[in-house]
């Protein structure tokens, strides 16, 4: 038997999830999970793992059986106090509060409301690019992608421009605290509290005299005669930094990495036809989505593939694995922006499309389906379009690259290149 085939048949040892190899390249392990253990009971980390497309899709859609919340939002303790985002929409799980809050805010990120924010996205992309476009080289992660989406959010919220750098600083501390314990968490919580102290008076002020900005819209939005409470708005803004900032930031870096290193043969076509950035985005969300894993807790026994996942079990949905499922996608390990077996347009929460093709799992599906799906696509397309025009003859500065990595996939760390140096001809 060839070495590769033997390696793929090796039974999974849960300690492999903690290995550096897995953080660098999780795909061979995902394949072994899909083929040998479609339901894997990881006794070492005390959790269950699903990795096939159809099982992940079913779990995302079945919020009753696979709950997003770990704690009961109606318990007799201060809900969300120790969470870095505070009480927020994700942690409300399958509760009526989740449905109510989602209905209050979801409309702000799509359709006409989103269109009204497009000039801000355009302006910030140009401003950030102007800081390096004469330099002939750029480190994309630090100089562009980790600046652009968060500055967009700050402006959408209508925060004063002179406070933008401070907002970016809180964002960086908060993200560093995400998922990691100790000092990082303490600094992240301190940054969150500072940010909360800063926006609280702004929330009050917007309630009294609302404008067109996102903070005003959220502050006065009403459903069933009720508005969001101040702590709920603060929790939502904190979540927005990670859910809307960090993810889109890393998505842009992943798109450029795959164009420069994985498919340099296709890159000239994308440069010649900027509409293709949308395909690059979609295929990136399938091939190596920023978010590879999501957590759920079972609320009943789940019989599946001859196993029974008990009630109350922690379940990891490896959407990064489902996205490479050969039961759904042809040659899943090929990054192909022209593939005809993937829905290439806008996503939706049902995951069902008129063209009959399956969608990627990168935004989740079902009741917690990403609320920023349309905004992320717009930001990525606008940002990448401006970058491509400004960075003439863009090429990797270094021939070799360590690739896309995840600090630790279960710690909340999102997958992206640590740095990405690009050389170009200054205009
Ligand atoms: C490429 C960028 C993005 C990726 C990869 C991404 C990924 C995800 C995923 C996988 C979920 C589902 C979580 C679950 O099922 O447990 C989610 C939820 C969410 N996302 Fe995104 N997201 C992105 C951009 C954004 C943006 C730009 C925003 C806001 C403007 C946003 C706001 C949210 C919110 C609020 C939720 C929670 C929805 C709920 O619980 O009902 N995301 N996102």
Q: List, in sequence order, every residue forming a beta bridge with 302; answer none if it has no partner.
A: 309
> Are β-strands 307-309 and 302-304 bridged in parallel, bridged antiparallel, or unpaired?
antiparallel
Output the six-digit token pair for 241: 């930094």
Residue 240 in contact with ligand 1 by CB distance below 6 A: yes
Cα(243) to ligand 1 centroid in Å equals: 5
Output the six-digit token pair for 198: 């800063």
Residue 410 pLDDT: 46
Q: Of the candidates 140, 132, 30, 177, which has an alpha carbon nearest to the alpha carbon of residue 417?
A: 140
Q: Whose CA is nearest to atom 14 of ligand 1?
A: 368
Q: In whole angstroms, what is the distance from residue 420 CA to residue 404 CA?
A: 10
Q: In whole angstroms, what is the distance from residue 171 CA to residue 146 CA?
A: 10
Ligand 1 atom at minimum distance from 291 CA: 5
Ligand 1 atom at minimum distance from 296 CA: 16
Residue 89 in contact with ligand 1 by CB distance below 6 A: yes
For the CA atoms of 385, 391, 394, 400, the dihedral, rounded to the nearest 10 degrees, stands at -100
Residue 109 in contact with ligand 1 by CB distance below 6 A: yes
CATH superfamily of 30-69+83-323+364-403+415-425: Cytochrome P450 (1.10.630.10)
Residue 368 in contact with ligand 1 by CB distance below 6 A: yes
Output the six-digit token pair for 147: 């600046």
Q: Of the candidates 207, 215, 247, 228, which has an alpha carbon nearest to the alpha carbon of residue 117?
A: 215
Residue 4 pLDDT: 74
Residue 177 in contact with ligand 1 by CB distance below 6 A: no
Residue 104 in contact with ligand 1 by CB distance below 6 A: no
Residue 140 in contact with ligand 1 by CB distance below 6 A: no
Residue 371 in contact with ligand 1 by CB distance below 6 A: yes
Contact 293, 320 (CB under 8 A): yes
Q: Of the candidates 126, 102, 106, which has an alpha carbon nearest to the alpha carbon of residue 114?
A: 106
Sequence-ordered list of residues with C-beta below 8 angstroms from that of 120, at least 6 positions apart, any chain: 152, 155, 156
Residue ranges covered by each domain of the chain = 30-69+83-323+364-403+415-425
Whole-prediction pTM:
0.94
Task: Classify residue 400 as exposed, middle or buried by CB count within 10 Å of its CB (0-12, 13-18, 19+).
Answer: exposed
Q: In whole angstroms, what is the distance from residue 29 CA to residue 41 CA?
A: 15
Ligand 1 atom at minimum distance from 239 CA: 35
Output the six-digit token pair for 349: 């929460």
Q: In whole angstroms, what is the distance from residue 92 CA to residue 329 CA?
A: 33
Q: Of the candidates 85, 87, 27, which has an alpha carbon nearest to the alpha carbon of residue 403?
A: 27
Cα(268) to ligand 1 centroid in Å equals: 31
Residue 101 in contact with ligand 1 by CB distance below 6 A: no
For the chain, how many residues are written?
427
Q: Whose CA is nearest to atom 18 of ligand 1?
A: 370
How many alpha carbons fall within 13 Å on the CB side of residue 417?
24
Q: Of the candidates 272, 270, 321, which has an alpha carbon nearest to the alpha carbon of residue 294?
A: 321
SS (HEC) of 253-273: HHHHHHHHHHCCCCHHHHHHC
Residue 376 in contact with ligand 1 by CB distance below 6 A: yes
Cα(164) to ligand 1 centroid in Å equals: 23
Pocket test for ligand 1, best of 60, 106, 243, 406 (most atoms within 8 A of CB): 243
The residue with tokens 């480190």 is: 139
pLDDT < 70 positions in the chain: 1-3, 77-82, 179-181, 407-413
Residue 186 pLDDT: 83
Output the six-digit token pair for 384: 């990448």
Cα(394) to ligand 1 centroid in Å equals: 30
Pocket test for ligand 1, best of 102, 283, 370 (most atoms within 8 A of CB): 370
Q: Whose CA is nearest to atom 3 of ligand 1?
A: 247
Max CA pair span of the chain: 73
SS (HEC) of the chain: CCHHHHHHHCCCCHHHHHCHHHHHCCHHHHHHHHHHCCEEEECCCCEEEECCHHHHHHHHHCCCCEECCCCCCCCCCCCCCCCCCCCCCCCCCCCHHHHHHHHHHHHHHCHHHHHHHHHHHHHHHHHHHHCCCCCCEEEHHHHHHCCHHHHHHHHHCCCCHHHHHHHHHHHHHHHHHCCCCHHHHHHHHHHHHHHHHHHHHHHHHHHHCCCCCHHHHHHHCEECCEECCHHHHHHHHHHHHHHHHHHHHHHHHHHHHHHHHHCCCCHHHHHHCHHHHHHHHHHHHHHCCCCCEEEEEECCCEEECCEEECCCCEEEEEHHHHCCCCCCCCCCCCCCCCCCCCCCCCCCCCCCCCCCCCCCCCCCCHHHCCCCHHHHHHHHHHHHHHHHHHCEEEEECCCCCCCCECCCHHHCCCCECCCCEEEEECC
Ligand 1 atom at minimum distance from 106 CA: 35
Residue 374 in contact with ligand 1 by CB distance below 6 A: no
Q: Whose CA is nearest to atom 38 of ligand 1?
A: 368
Residue 294 in contact with ligand 1 by CB distance below 6 A: yes
Residue 291 in contact with ligand 1 by CB distance below 6 A: yes
Residue 214 in contact with ligand 1 by CB distance below 6 A: no
Residue 413 pLDDT: 64
Ligand 1 atom at minimum distance from 377 CA: 1
Q: Phi, psi at residue 309, to the nearest 5°? A: -85, 125
């Amino acid at each position: 038997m060839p070495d590769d085939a033997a390696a793929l048949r090796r039974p999974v040892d849960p300690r492999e999830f903690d290995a550096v190899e897995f953080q660098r390249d999780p795909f061979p392990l995902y394949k072994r999970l899909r083929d040998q253990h479609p339901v894997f009971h990881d006794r070492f980390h005390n959790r269950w793992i699903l990795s096939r497309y159809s099982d992940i899709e079913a779990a995302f859609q079945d919020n009753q059986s696979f709950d997003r919340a770990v704690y009961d939002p109606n318990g007799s303790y201060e809900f969300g106090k120790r969470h870095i985002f505070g009480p927020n929409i994700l942690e409300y799980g399958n509760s009526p509060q989740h449905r109510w809050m989602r209905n209050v805010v979801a409309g702000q990120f799509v359709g006409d409301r989103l269109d009204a924010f497009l000039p801000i996205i355009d302006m910030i992309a140009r401003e950030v690019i102007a800081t390096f476009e004469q330099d002939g080289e750029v480190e994309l992660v630090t100089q562009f992608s980790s600046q652009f989406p968060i500055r967009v959010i700050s402006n959408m919220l209508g925060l004063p421009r002179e406070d933008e750098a401070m907002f970016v600083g809180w964002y960086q501390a908060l993200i560093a605290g995400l998922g990691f314990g100790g000092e990082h968490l303490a600094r992240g919580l301190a940054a969150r509290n500072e940010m909360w102290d800063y926006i609280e008076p702004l929330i009050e002020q917007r309630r009294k005299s609302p404008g067109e900005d996102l903070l005003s819209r959220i502050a006065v939005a009403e459903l069933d005669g009720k508005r969001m409470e101040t702590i709920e708005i603060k929790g939502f803004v904190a979540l927005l930094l990670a859910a809307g900032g960090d993810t889109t930031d890393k998505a842009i870096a992943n798109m450029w990495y795959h164009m420069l290193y994985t498919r340099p043969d296709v890159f000239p076509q994308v440069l010649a036809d900027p509409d293709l950035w949308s395909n690059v985005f979609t295929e990136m969300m399938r091939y190596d989505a920023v978010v590879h894993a999501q957590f759920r807790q079972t609320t009943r026994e789940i019989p599946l593939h001859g196993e029974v996942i008990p009630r109350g079990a922690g379940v990891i949905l490896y959407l990064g694995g489902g996205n490479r499922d050969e039961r759904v996608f042809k040659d899943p390990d090929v990054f192909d922006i022209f593939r005809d077996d993937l829905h290439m347009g806008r996503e939706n929460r049902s995951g069902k499309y008129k063209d009959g093709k399956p969608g990627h799992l990168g935004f989740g599906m079902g009741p917690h389906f990403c609320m920023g799906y349309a905004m992320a696509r717009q930001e990525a397309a606008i940002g990448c379009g401006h970058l491509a025009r400004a960075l003439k003859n863009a090429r990797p500065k270094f021939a070799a690259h360590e690739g896309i990595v995840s600090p630790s996939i279960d710690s909340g760390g999102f997958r992206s290149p640590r740095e990405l140096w690009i050389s170009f001809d200054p205009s």
